[in-house]
Amino acid sequence: MSLLTDLVNLNLSDCTEKIIAEYIWVGGSGMDIRSKARTLSGPVSDPSQLPRWNYDGSSTGQAPGEDSEVILYPQAIYRDPFRRGNDILVMCDCYTPQGEPIPTNKRHNAAKIFSNPAVAAEETWFGIEQEYTLLQKDVKWPLGWPIGGFPGPQGPYYCSAGADKAFGRDIVDAHYKACLYAGIDISGINGEVMPGQWEFQVGPCVGVSAGDQLWVARYLLEVMPDPERPPGSLCEQRITEIAGVVLSFDPKPIQGDWNGAGAHTNYSTKSMRSNGGYEVIKEAIQKLGLRHKEHIAAYGEGNERRLTGRHETADINTFVWGVANRGASIRVGRDTEKSGKGYFEDRRPASNMDPYVVTSMIAETTILWNSA
């Protein structure tokens, strides 16, 4: 008699050309990720070849019960590291049956900004540093911390090695490989300053694809394959099932003398990457300073608990930039200053920010906005 794992691990390519497409979208809270799967007649390589689909928006906080249908528009395709083969993950955004973007669809406006000829000509590059915290499931306390107590002070944990300093590396490494398999431009990982906290980086990505890729990378972190499963196994298990942990994007999960969690956003345009680009960078930073309050309002919930002027942050009410200054709102790297061109880092976004909102707002402010 077959075991459940035998059936989950069936290789469908032996018996059918049909594939499974997992449609993914952002739910009603703006941070919850929803998905459901459908069968397609054969392999698909372009989102335009995929059918639109609907779901019950009243069950996700995105539509009333008396008019609950929300339509999924496929926007980007990635390889599925759970089912593998020709199966795919499909990042979607959400519309009414009349074709209007619903309020939680932040991708639609981002795509409009990035398709503006002035923005498109600048070939905007983004690299997002997504920080997150792994929590023990039953007590919601950081992984590796004594229950109800605290580890030693910060200092030995950043980019550390050792079972007494780096907690959850198997999960982090599994996620890294899943992103690479999926085709996400993940560029690295590292342990963070607070124990139990990690970071992965996505980019460089051009325009709206930065948002697509970060959301799918978050999805993969929420739904992780078992890092200890045998090679070729397709068994999908949630992160809490394989390691007994909860994923948190809270920008300040632990109060006190502990670093918060951000989503530092590195940014450049074609003009910034060209000779004389440092002057363009300084002009862009000046514009960001003039719209500081508007950006802060869009950079994530609870960010005031993180941006205190301590723990490598600038105060939320203050805008300051500097070279190699991790206590600034905007940091410019030494290499950029030396070469006279390059990129800068916006350190203000919280770990729970919406990448569609943050990336498009940076592009809009630095390229389209006129401060006069």
Extended beta strands in 30-148, E state: 33-40, 53-56, 69-79, 88-95, 125-136, 141-142
Report the alpha-carbon distance of residue 47 to residue 29 in Å, rounded: 25
Tokens of 220: 């993969």
pLDDT at 12: 85
Instruction: Report whether 131 contacts 252 (CB < 8 A).
Output: no
pLDDT at 1: 61
Dihedral angle computed from the Cα positions of residues 60, 93, 52 and 235, in that order, rounded to the nearest 10 degrees = -70
Report the alpha-carbon distance of residue 180 to residue 165 in Å, rounded: 26
pLDDT at 238: 40
Query: Do 4-104 and 106-371 show the same overall fold?
Result: no
CB atoms within 10 A of CB 91: 25
Report the alpha-carbon distance of residue 130 to residue 184 in Å, rounded: 14
Domain ranges within the chain, ordered by starting residue: 4-104, 106-371
- Grouped pLDDT means (10 residues each) for the chain, 372 residues: 76 90 96 96 96 97 95 98 94 98 98 98 98 90 92 94 92 94 98 96 98 96 58 38 78 95 98 98 98 98 96 96 96 97 98 98 96 66
Looking at the domain covering 106-371, what would its CATH class be?
Answer: alpha beta
Topology given in CATH for the domain delimited by 4-104:
Ubiquitin-like (UB roll) (3.10.20)
pLDDT at 10: 83
pTM of the model: 0.94
